[in-house]
Amino acid sequence: MKKNILGRTGMEVSELSFGAVCIGLPYGINAGAQMPDDDYFVRLLNESLNNGITFYDTARGYGKSEELIGKALGNKRPEIVICTKPAHIKPDQLSSLSYNQINGIISSSLQTSLQNMKTDYVDILMSHNGLLEYQRNTDFVKSFDDMKRKGLAKFLGISVYTVQESLEAINSGVWDVIQLPFNLMDQRQSEVFELAYQKGVGIVVRSVLFKGILADNRRALHSALKAIEEHCQLYRKLLDDTQSLSELATKFVLSHKGISSVLVGIDKFEYLEQALKVVGGKCLSESILSQAKQMSYPDPEFLDLQKWSREGWLI
């Protein structure tokens, strides 16, 4: 497993990070499937560490995810890097809360996370919401910084959706790590990579498989997403006889300079095995990478997973 430095944090992280949302609750395009028992996930987490994955991404809102990480890896804390996100404060609540109230919510949530994961600090405390109204709320930002000053979090991160949010976060000087969506279908965030590198902001990429849509084992998509289904088929022209679509999608992201780690949701041993096949510094050839860069979805504004979920298109 290749290790990369996570921006100005100086921390060494595995190029593949374990997305733990799907071990804590039903998630993604196959969300209706029955979940295995806790012991299965404990074994899975241990196997991931045994294979060189040292970076784990979780949140208070991810069901039993934190508890499972604590149960499996609590006695191996020095070997791993943990990123978690505190309880979500709704946008309509944010402006009406005082600093003490916001700080109390974040502090209480983080204390529960620490107990769950059997640790006294997290490496990265990440805001789950990178909307500009959160980034520009001084009480919200100050509350995160307070957790860092108290030593409960080594560094601060923020999860964003839009390029504008990314630029705001990178230029703020507050956030040490930025987590953003980037994949074969949606390549808009590529324009911030160089700036983040210059500013020393570590980049972690999520949605590498576009919530399972860029995976070979998913179900057929809803009829409203017919154009998405058809576009996914175009990527198969870039595959060789030994490569899967998910391998291509993961290697595509890993082939971009400045990305420290790619976040992959892993809830089965077979998915872990598939993910491990594409790491180790294995990048796409210049020819394939160049072609893939020209094959983003032509209408990126349509790529709204939250809307798709509200419409019931991801069921």
User: Can you tell me the mean pLDDT for 252-259?
Assistant: 91
Distances (CA, A) of 141 to 16, 86, 125, 127, 218: 28, 13, 12, 9, 39
- Over the stretch 122-154, which tens digit does the pLDDT of each residue have? 999 999 999 999 999 999 999 999 999 999 999
Confidence of residue 265 (pLDDT cuts 50, 70, 90): confident
% of the chain exceeding 70 in pLDDT: 96
Confidence of residue 216 (pLDDT cuts 50, 70, 90): confident
Q: How many domains does the chain have?
A: 1
User: Can you tell me the mean pLDDT for 210-239?
Assistant: 90
User: Can you tell me the mean pLDDT for 72-81?
Assistant: 96
Determine which of 99-103, 125-129, 156-160, 215-219 has the lowest per-residue pLDDT on average.
215-219
Tokens of 148: 């860092």
Count of residues making up the chain: 315
pLDDT value of position 272? 92
pLDDT surpasses 80 at 26: no
Confidence of residue 113 (pLDDT cuts 50, 70, 90): very high
CATH number for the domain that contains residue 159: 3.20.20.100
pLDDT value of position 240? 84
**Other CB atoms closer than 10 Å to residue 239's CB: what's the count?**
14
User: Can you tell me the mean pLDDT for 46-65?
Assistant: 96
Please report the DSSP string for 241-306 in residue order.
TT--HHHHHHHHHHTSTTEEEEEEE--SHHHHHHHHTT-SS----HHHHHHHHT-S-S-GGG--HH
User: Can you tell me the mean pLDDT for 15-26?
Assistant: 88
- 242/82 Cα distance (integer angstroms): 33
Between 32 and 68, the more confident residue is 68
pTM for this model (two decimals) = 0.91
pLDDT surpasses 90 at 283: no
Backbone angles phi, psi at 33, to 5 degrees: -70, 150
pLDDT value of position 306? 83
Full domain range(s) for residue 292: 3-311
**Other CB atoms closer than 10 Å to residue 4's CB: what's the count?**
19
Determine which of 2-16, 28-42, 202-216 has the lowest per-residue pLDDT on average.
28-42
Confidence of residue 277 (pLDDT cuts 50, 70, 90): confident
- 185/228 Cα distance (integer angstroms): 9
Burial of 298: CB neighbours in 10 Å, binned 0-12, 13-18, 19+: exposed
pLDDT value of position 178? 98
% of the chain exceeding 90 in pLDDT: 76
Between 173 and 281, the more confident residue is 173
Confidence of residue 314 (pLDDT cuts 50, 70, 90): confident
Between 34 and 149, the more confident residue is 149
pLDDT value of position 28? 54
How high is the mean pLDDT of the chain? 92
- 66/60 Cα distance (integer angstroms): 7
